[in-house]
Amino acid sequence: MNQIVSILIPFKNTSQFLVECLTSVIAQTYQHWEVVAVDDHSSDNSVAIVQGFADKDPRIKLLSNNGKGIIMALRTGYAAASGRFITRMDSDDIMTSEKISFMVSALIISGPGYISLGKVRYFSDRGISNGYKRYESWLNNLTHTASNFEERYKECVIPSPSWMVHKTDLDACGAFDHDRYPEDYDLAFRMFEAHLRCLPCEEVVHLWRDYDTRTSRTSLHYAQNYFLDLKIYYFLKLDWNPKRPLVVWGAGNKGKTVANLLRQNNIPFLWVCDNPNKIGKEIYGTVLYSYTMIEKIKKPQSILTVANTKAQAQIRQYLEEKDQKAMSDFYFFC
């Protein structure tokens, strides 16, 4: 039986990191893999570096992007992938030596229908910000218990370098055929939609490099509005019940963006907050009410856009006391 793992590595101008990246792949204890590296029109010597590795190891394939951008690079690489299992790797990151072994073993035991996950750790020459540390801790806690999809509207619960699936399951999800950004978050939602189940993992398998020019920091495709567009798209598709009143809680920047997106989709909603300076005022022609208005509504669904963690805990307690349940009656969008 084919036990090959295809590792898709799109790259563009990451010459300073590619040696470490590819060396970490070659050092894997599990050796039945192929790298499908796709150049997205690099202008530095990235191609020469990958070609040098490919010349020495036939398991490394070097391709040129058939189009432009990371999604087209992934499509190009996936079309050439021959493995039974598929995973991704960012060209500026590092695998721990047991990564592929851990993830393959989990999928062989579980069979199809599952996502093999691994914990991540950020690293940087200048230290890691509190925001990235919080994201790392949050994500790893979800991965530890395989509860990733339970907080799918907060952040990307299955980022690109921390999953592996059967190729048949990735095909069932639409693989990289969609054009929505952020592409890893979009895929995570499609995995959820396809009813794939997460496998827990206790091991840190991926080292995530942070630096000023990484794509997630510089590309407009990873700006906050793209995330909110994606969240609203999938909420309306997967979780919204049009027979129930919809409530938006919070009138900060995210709350305003969510409200505007709902208006653009002609979705009626009630807008509430707990800020006395905003209650009774109109934004986008919609009046803001006190959050206590929820008590007068029968079976509401609420989108919560309040970012403060203490306030989130208070809101959760308030709603649970009203016999409302997370991820069916209320959804945190931050």
Output the CA torsion 311→313→316→321 (10° steps): -110
250: left (phi over 0), alpha (psi -120 to 50) or beta: left
What is residue 212's predicted lDDT score, i.e. its pLDDT?
67
Is pLDDT of 33 > 90?
yes
Tell me if the domain spanning 241-332 has CATH number 3.40.1190.20.
Answer: no
Segment 263-279 shows an average pLDDT of 95
Cα distance between residue 181 and residue 186, in whole Å: 7
Task: Answer for the pair 171, 78: CB distance below 8 angstroms, yes or no.
Answer: no
Task: Give the pLDDT of residue 2.
Answer: 57
Position 128 pLDDT exceeds 90: no
Q: Could you tell me the pLDDT band of residue 264, with boundaries at 50, 70 and 90?
A: very high
Which pLDDT tens digit goes with each residue over 203-243? Answer: 999 999 987 655 554 456 545 678 999 999 999 999 999 99
Query: Distance (Å, rounded) from C-alpha 199 to C-alpha 136?
Result: 18
Q: pLDDT at position 1, please?
A: 44
pTM: 0.94
Among residues 149, 194, 195, which one has the least CA distance to residue 173?
194
pLDDT tens readout for residues 136-162: 999 999 999 999 999 999 999 999 989
Domain residue ranges in the chain? 5-222, 241-332
**Residue that wins the pLDDT comparison between 129 and 156:** 156
User: What is the fold of 5-222?
Assistant: Spore Coat Polysaccharide Biosynthesis Protein SpsA; Chain A (3.90.550)
| Mean predicted confidence (pLDDT) in 44-56 | 98
